[in-house]
């Protein structure tokens, strides 16, 4: 996995990338009810959260290091994981507001 996509690039290819492992670069939000990566640069964003991807972790032992995520909040990051489109009846994330989610395996400062 060499190519790093912007959030908008990933969302534009949702049908093709659904279920695939991808790498996305954007701005991390790590707030209550808003754990996502948003498109960068800000000037190219569509209405939020349409330019954001919800971040999730598996139900096993893997989880977000909350202290690291708080330090990276508002910063550019690169996230790798499995990309999934929202279902036809329900979006992703808190209250189903996101068009897709990334089941994250790694999160690093860009």
Residue 70 counted as domain residue: yes
Residue 94 counted as domain residue: no
> Burial letters for 13-45: b for 16+ Cβ neighbours within 10 Å, e otherwise?
eeeebeeeebbbbbbbbbeeebbbbbbbeeeeb
Supply the mean pLDDT for the chain: 86
Residue 93 counted as domain residue: no
Residue 98 counted as domain residue: no
Model confidence pLDDT, tens digit, residues 37-88? 999 987 777 766 679 998 987 665 457 788 888 999 999 999 999 999 887 7
Model confidence pLDDT, tens digit, residues 18-33? 999 999 999 999 988 8
Model confidence pLDDT, tens digit, residues 3-12? 899 999 999 9
Residue 104 counted as domain residue: no
Q: Residue 6 has what pLDDT?
A: 95
Q: Which residue range(s) make up the domain with 61?
A: 5-85
Residue 17 counted as domain residue: yes
């Amino acid at each position: 996995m060499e190519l790093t996509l912007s959030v908008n690039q990933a969302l534009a290819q949702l049908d093709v990338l659904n279920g695939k492992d991808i790498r996305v670069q954007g701005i991390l939000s790590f707030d209550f009810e808003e754990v996502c990566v948003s498109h960068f640069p800000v000037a190219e964003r569509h209405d939020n959260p349409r330019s954001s991807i919800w971040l999730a972790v598996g139900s096993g032992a893997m989880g977000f290091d909350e202290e690291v995520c708080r330090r990276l909040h508002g910063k550019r990051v690169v996230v790798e994981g499995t990309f999934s489109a929202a279902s036809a009846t329900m979006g992703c994330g808190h209250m189903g507001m996101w068009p897709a989610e990334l089941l994250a395996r790694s999160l690093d400062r860009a």
